[in-house]
Structure 1
C-alpha cells in the first residue's frame, strides 16, 4: 500500500502531466497559419514584386491586428524568385518545406510556368495577383488569379488604339524573357487590332536579362513608319525603349501593357513616356470609402502610393485569408476558392470554376507624370 506522501506525489505528477499535455495541445492549436509569398524582389521586375509583397504584407498585418483568422495569427513567409528559373525552384522548395497553407504569387507569367508544375503535387492553392497569361486560363488545377487574362487587356487596348485614337499602323517590340505574357499579349492585341482595321507592321524581340543594346531594334521599328510603337515589356524596359524612340521621333504614339503600368515607369521614363497609353487593372483615382481606407493605410505603412500589384496582392491575400476563415486548410483552400465571390478593393470579384476572374480595363494616358484615366472598358467574361 503506498503511503499518503507517495500517493500525493503520484497525483501531483498526474495533474502536472495533464496540464503539460493540455498546454502543448493548446499551443499546437494556436500554431499560426503560414502564407507563402513568391515574387521578383530583385532584378528588373522588382518594382512589381515589391509592390505585391507590400500589398500581401498589409493584408496579413491587418488580419493579425484584428485578432488573426479563426483564432490563429498569420505568418507571412516571403521568398524572392528574382525572375530566375533556379531561384523560383528554390523558393518553391523552401515554401513547401515551411508547410505553408497557401501561396500568394508568383508575379509574372514566366515564373508561373516554373512554379505551378512544382506545386502541383502538393495540392496547395497558388493565388497570383498579377499573372495574366491566357495560357493559364481554363485549367482544372490549383492555380487562381485575381486579374483578367491578357486576352481581355490586349483586345481592349487594340480596339481603343484603332477605334478611339484612330491609329492604324503599329510596330511592336516584346521582351522574350517573359514570353508567356508578352507574346501572348501581342497575339491577342494583333488579332483584335486587325479586326478593328489596323495592321501590325513589324515585331522585334529582345531579352531583358541580356542587357543588349536596343538601338538597332528601335531603328528598325521606326523605319517602317508606324503610327504607334507597342512596347510589351516591364516598366524599366519600356522606359528605356521610350527614351530611345523619343531621341529619333518626338511625335510618334507609344503604348505599353499592363505589366509596365507601375509608378516606376513614370519615375524612370520621365518626359519620354509623357503621352504614352497604358492599360491598367485598377483605378488610382477611386474615391470609394473602402479604397480610400486602403490607400491611406498603405501610404502610412510604406510611405508611397499603392500600384496595381499592391491592390491585386491585397485582394489575393484577403481571398486566401477568407478561405482559411471558412474552414480551409492546405488542400481544402482550393475547394473554398472555386466558384467563389468576394469583395475586392474596387468592386466585387468572382473566381470561376477554372480559377479565373475578370476586371474592368482602365485605359490611361501619362500626363504630367501621372496616369490619367481616359476610358473604363468592361472586362470580358474569362
Structure 2
C-alpha cells in the first residue's frame, strides 16, 4: 500500500431543493469508494474523495468544479444532478482537461468527451414509459414541469413520442423550482378539467412531493389518470405522507426492490452504512457503479489523466445492481436496463413492465420507433449481452 492516493471530486448537494435525491448519490459514491479502498484501492493506492456541497445552485457547481480542478488538482469528478448543474460545471471540467462522471437521467441530445453519462438517455426510459402508458391508460397527456432545461427538453421528447402513438398534448406548463403548494393546487384543478389519460411530470426537487400531495387532495385516481414521471424516485416518495404516491408510474433502470444478488448486496451495504430506513434511488445506483467503472479504467490505464484514461473506459462492463452495464465507446453513454415501475403502499416501486433487455444508448434518438410493426428489440435499440 502506497501513501499516494487517487484524488477525486464529489459534487452532490446535501442542502437545497434537490438534496433528497442528491444525498443518495453522494452516499452511494462514498460507499463504493470505501468498498474499493477496503479491498486495497486501485493497485495499492486508495481513492481520496474531496466532497463539496453545491447547495442545489448551478453557480456553486461551476465554482466548486473549478476549485476541485485548480486547487485540489483532481482529474475526475463524480457529480451533478439537475441538467442546469451539469451544464454549469462541464465547461470548467472540459477546459481543465478533467472528466465528469454524471449519474443522472437526463434529456439527451448531448455529447462531451469529458463526460461519462451513466444515467439513462431518453431512448432508455422515455420510450419505454410512453410505450407502457399509451397501451395501459391512453395517449392524451398534460405536461407539468419545473422551469429549467431538463423539463423543456424532456417534454419535447415525450410529446413527440405520444404524438407518434396518435396522441396529443392537452396542456403544458412550467413552474418555478420554488413553487408552493397553492401553485400546484391550482394547476391540478386546471388539468383535472381537461381529463387527460396521464399527467407527465418533470417537476424536480422538493416540488415533487407538493405536486403529488395536490393531486391526492383533489381526489384524483391514478388508476385512470396517473402521474407519470422520470424524475420521481424513492427519495421523493419518502418525503410524502404515506400512500400519497401509490399507483403512480415511472421508468428507470433500477429500483430499490430489485431482486438480483448484486442489488441485494448493494442495498444491504447501503443500509448498513447509512441507516436501515435509508431510501435508495436509481441515481444512487448509477453513482455507485460508476465509481467501479472508474476504478476498472484506472487499473487498466495506470493513470487517471483524461486523455490516457478515456480509451480504457470505452466498452468497460460491470455487474451493477441493475444488471451488467457497459460504457459505449461511441457516445460516452451507458448500456442500461429498462424497467417500468409503479409505486406500492410501502413507497417502493413494483416492476410492472420489464422487457428483459439491455438497451444501447441512443442519446440523439436516431434509431428508435414506436411503430407497433417494428420488432421490440429494434424499437428498444436492443443489443445482446456482450455485443
What TM-score bracket applies, with the shorter chain setting the length?
0.7 to 0.9
Whether contact under 8 Å (1:273, 1:366) holds in the other structure is yes
Aligned partners of 2:163 and 2:47: how far apart in 1?
49
Residues 70 and 101 of structure 1: is their aligned pair in 2 closer, same or farther, counting only changes over 3 Å? farther
Q: Flag the structure with larger Rg.
A: 1
Measured against aligned partners, the alpha-carbon deviations of 1:28-53 in whole angstroms (never above 9, x if no partner) come to x6321111111222112111211001
Residue matched to 1:381 = 360
Partner of 1:9: none
- The answer on whether the counterparts of 2:255 and 2:349 sit within 8 Å (CA) in structure 1 is no
Gaps of 5+ in 1: 1-25
Indicate the residue corresponding to 2:380 in structure 1: none
Is the 8 Å Cα contact of residues 262 and 319 (structure 2) preserved in structure 1? no
1:105 equivalenced with 2:72 (yes/no)? no
Give the counterpart of 2:146 among 162, 167, 175.
Answer: 175
* Greater alpha carbon shift after TM alignment, 306-315 vs 112-121: 306-315
Check whether the contact 2:21–2:236 (CA below 8 A) recurs between aligned residues: no
Distance 1:35 1:196 in 2: 45
Residue-by-residue CA offset, 1:99-143 (whole Å, 9 max, x unaligned): 11311111221211111111112221211111422032xx25211
For residues 31-88 of structure 1, what are the alpha-carbon distances to aligned partners after superposition, in whole Å with 9 as ceiling and x for unaligned?
2111111122211211121100111101111111112211111111111222212211
Query: Would you say the 8 A contact 1:148–1:379 is kept in 2?
Result: no
Q: Distance in 1 between matches of 2:358 and 2:184?
A: 34
Corresponding position of 1:22: none
1:147 aligns with 2:124: no
What secondary structure sits across from 2:27 in the alignment? helix
Q: Which residue of 2 aligns with 1:55?
A: 28
1:128 corresponds to which residue?
102
Equivalent residue number for residue 137 of structure 2: 166
Deviation of the 1:235 alpha carbon: 5.3
Determine helix, strand or coil for the equivalent of 1:202. strand
C-alpha displacement of 1:191:
1.3
CA deviation after TM superposition for structure 1 residue 95, in Å? 0.9
The offset of 1:305, in angstroms, is: 4.3
Match of 2:305 in 1: 330
- Give the Cα separation in 1 of the matches to 2:318 and 2:303: 15
Aligned residue in 2 for 1:274: 246
CA RMSD in angstroms, aligned pairs only: 2.1
Alignment partners' CA distance in 2, 1:376 and 1:131 = 18
Is 110-119 or 337-346 further displaced after alignment? 337-346
Shift of 1:201: 0.5
Q: How does 1:25-44 map to 2 (within 5 A)?
A: 30-44=3-17
Matched, 1:366 2:343: yes
Structure richer in helix, relative to its length: 1
Which whole-Å CA distance do the structure 1 matches of 2:107 and 2:220 have between them? 32
Cα 1:272–1:291 change in 2 (3 A) is closer
1:263 to 235, 247, 250: 235
Q: CA deviation at 1:376?
A: 1.1
Q: Name the SS for the 2:244 alignment partner.
A: helix
Identify which of 101, 112, 118 aligns with 2:92.
118
> In the aligned structure 2, how far is the partner of 1:229 from the partner of 1:214?
13
Q: How much has 1:267 moved relative to structure 2? A: 4.0
Q: What is the aligned counterpart of 1:94 among 58, 67, 70?
A: 67
Distance apart, 1:262 and its partner CA: 2.5
The 10-residue stretch of structure 1 (165-174 or 284-293) with the greater mean CA deviation from structure 2:
284-293
Match of 2:370 in 1: none
| Correspondence for 1:16 | none
Larger mean Cα displacement after TM superposition, 75-84 or 233-242: 233-242
> Match of 2:176?
207
How many residue pairs end up in the alignment? 350
Separation (CA, whole Å) in 2 of partners of 1:351 and 1:226: 38
Structure 2, unmatched stretches of 5+, are: 362-387
Structure 1 residues 122 and 215: CA distance shift in structure 2, 3 A: same
Report the CA distance between 1:293 and its aligned residue: 1.8
* Deviation at residue 194 of structure 1 after TM alignment: 1.5
